[in-house]
Amino acid sequence: MFDCGMHMGYDDHRRYPDFSLISKSRDFDHSLHCVIITHFHLDHVGALPYFTEVCGYNGPIYMTYPTKALAPLMLEDFRKVLVDRRGEEEQFTSLHISQCMEKVIAVDLKQTVQVDDDLQIRAYYAGHVLGAAMFYAKVGDSAMVYTGDYNMTPDRHLGAAQIDRLELDLLITESTYATTIRDSKYAREREFLKAVHECVAGGGKVLIPTFALGRAQELCILLDDYWERMNLKVPIYFSAGLTIQANMYYKILISWTSQKVKETYATRNAFDFKHVHNFDRSLINAPGPCVLFATPGMISGGFSLEVFKQWAPCEMNLITLPGYCVAGTVGHKLMSGKPTKINLDKDTQIDVRCQIHQLSFSPHTDSKGIMDLTKFLSPRNVILVHGEKPKMVSLKERIQSELRIPCYLPANCDTVHIPSTIYVKAHASNTFIRSCLNPNFRFLKRSKEDNSDQVLRNTNPTAPLQVNDERVAEGILIMEKGKKARVVHQDDLLLMLRQKKHDVQFAYCCAAQLDNLEETRNRDDALGLSDKCSSLQLLFKELSNYFSGVNIQDLGEHLQVESFHVSVCVKDNCPYRIIDDSQKEAATVYFCCSWSAADEKLAWEIISAMERFSLIDNLPCRNSISRTN
């Protein structure tokens, strides 16, 4: 199971996934080999303690080291907001969180983990937030990648997603910004800094609702650097001790950050903020400007909602929304227009007179990034998740039309069947291997225009040959129950079955009327050639002219093309001949043709051609063909 999150827009049973779809009997340990968590955001990990400690899953859980360190902080903060401040029924306790994390197995990037005999998994750097990973999973010969959330462009504190080029049956990718192509990051930063600076310069307060981990650090680095350059004295606050804890982990896990942060770490830690301070609740209504980072990011509750209630009615203040907000949250309502009032519940209404500033500092990749990753991996199938349906439909059409890859966007509870790859490992016999090493010559005639050798052209009546060695592994796959598959040569199979080789050969004797046979005989009598040779040479000449690109070999007694043989028949009563009285003329010559089943099409093309250039008057019907064993 990939991820175990919660829906931030619901307060009822819809908050958690419907785990009964995994197992009606709730025997989750039997149904799941493992759970994989891609990163610490609540929409990916929020339901994990509930699933393990309340629903009873006891199997292994895999996540990266930073995710294992930071997820408990997010979960405990969510639990406190839910129970201590909102008075809701407790879904899981602090003890549940710690017991859940004891089941977690931390993994490194690009570390291949063998979960069991069949399943292996591997994590790849995803950007997005500290410790976020894409996961590669392989069962037998079937392989897939689940991206979780990722970012294809680096920012100030994290690098871009990185993954190997893999052979995949399936790619499951997020599609948060399925149709959005973001503009320059620097232009967005300038616009954000301008809006914040203008607000505090006018004496207003700036509320930046953000999750404690991820965008908070990105924007703090940006504002701290700007405050230093502009020599501003307006205080910047963090709302919760959670972010202080998070910054401590960011300092410890410096190897997971961007290249720039790692390069400057020796002289200055980017997460030691000079202008950022802790916030006390008593300062909510304090006079004077300030900038406040408050959680959660979507204003779905918690301290950000508490501050919003106080600051929203003032026109001087600014609410800047730097990321995506789920439908149903206050943040989403603010982004959907410019509301003058927002109803929190039937008893609570908030006047909204403050400025609303929406700017995408989201750590999610945009549509270009999704297309680039899909093109790079070139999976056989794509499934889109984590997005809004109308935009996902548009992205699906792009993937199918531009990349020619089947794409699906299943709704919750839908089942999708994806064809997968199966490789059969087979033992190859020695005879089969030797046969593969034998030359397999193919002879093709070059046209005279391609040959610059004038002497050869003048002295050799036939066009020069082009010889190709096209070796082909021709064998027989044998699969017996309980035994390993084998590839054998046909001679091996005959021995195994105790049988003799049985060839089906086609034979046909046809009558040909050669109009200039007498002229040819007179010339060949002078050269001492027999009638038999004369007829065969005349046929050779006609066939060579007609099939200029085919190698027709004159072997003296017969002509040969692949398995097709043709020779002059000297028998008075050939068993493969059908004649009538009109063919009993002096100029009649009989040709015996034989070929194997593999070259039947070629044989009839040659015979039909012979008919077209009037070597054969009356071609008998195909039903007259005899077979010899």
Mapped to the 3 state alphabet, what secondary structure does 243-292 carry?
Answer: HHHHHHHHHHCHHHCCHHHHHHCCCCCCCCCCCEEECCHHHCCCCCCEEE
Span 497-544, pLDDT tens digits: 888 887 788 988 877 766 554 554 555 454 444 556 777 888 888 888
Q: What is the average per-residue pLDDT within 101-114?
A: 96
Helix 241-252 to helix 65-80 angle (10° resolution) is 180
pLDDT value at 83 more than 50: yes
pLDDT tens for residues 26-78?
A: 899 999 999 999 999 999 999 999 999 999 999 999 999 999 999 998 898 88
Give percent above pLDDT 70 in the chain.
85
Q: Could you tell me the pLDDT band of residue 102, with boundaries at 50, 70 and 90? A: very high
Q: What gap in Å lies between CA 566 and CA 540, rounded to an integer?
A: 10
CB 196 within 8 A of CB 320: yes
| Residue-by-residue DSSP string for 396-429 | HHHHHHHS---EE-PPTT---------PPPEEE-
Q: Kindly name the residue from 53, 90, 102, 174 that is annotated as catalytic.
A: 174
Map tokens 């020796």 to a residue.
Answer: 266
**pLDDT tens sequence across 229-245:** 999 999 999 876 666 67
Angle between helices 215-230 and 241-252 (to 10 degrees): 90
pLDDT of residue 528: 46
Residue 104 pairs with which residues in a beta bridge? 61
| Helix (H/G/I), strand (E/B), else coil: 470 | coil
The pTM of this model reads 0.65
Cα 507–Cα 509–Cα 515 angle in degrees, nearest 5: 145
Q: Where are the beta strands (DSSP E) in 586-625?
A: 588-596
| pLDDT tens figures, 321-374 | 866 677 778 888 888 777 778 887 777 888 888 998 887 777 889 999 999 999
Q: Which secondary-structure segment (H or E) carries 61?
A: strand 61-64
Q: What are the structure tokens assigned to 559, written together? A: 């002509």
DSSP secondary structure letters along 105-154: EEE-BT-EEE-SSSEEEEEEE--SSTT-EEEEEEETTEEEEE--S--SS-
State the amino acid at position 370 in one-letter form. I
191 is annotated as an active-site residue: no
Q: pLDDT tens, 436-452? A: 887 766 666 555 444 44
Instruction: Quote the tokens at residue 583.
Output: 């063919």
Question: CA-to-CA distance for 37 and 44, rounded, in angstroms?
Answer: 7
List phi, psi (to 5°) of 537.
-70, -35
Distance of CA 90 to the CA centre of its chain: 41
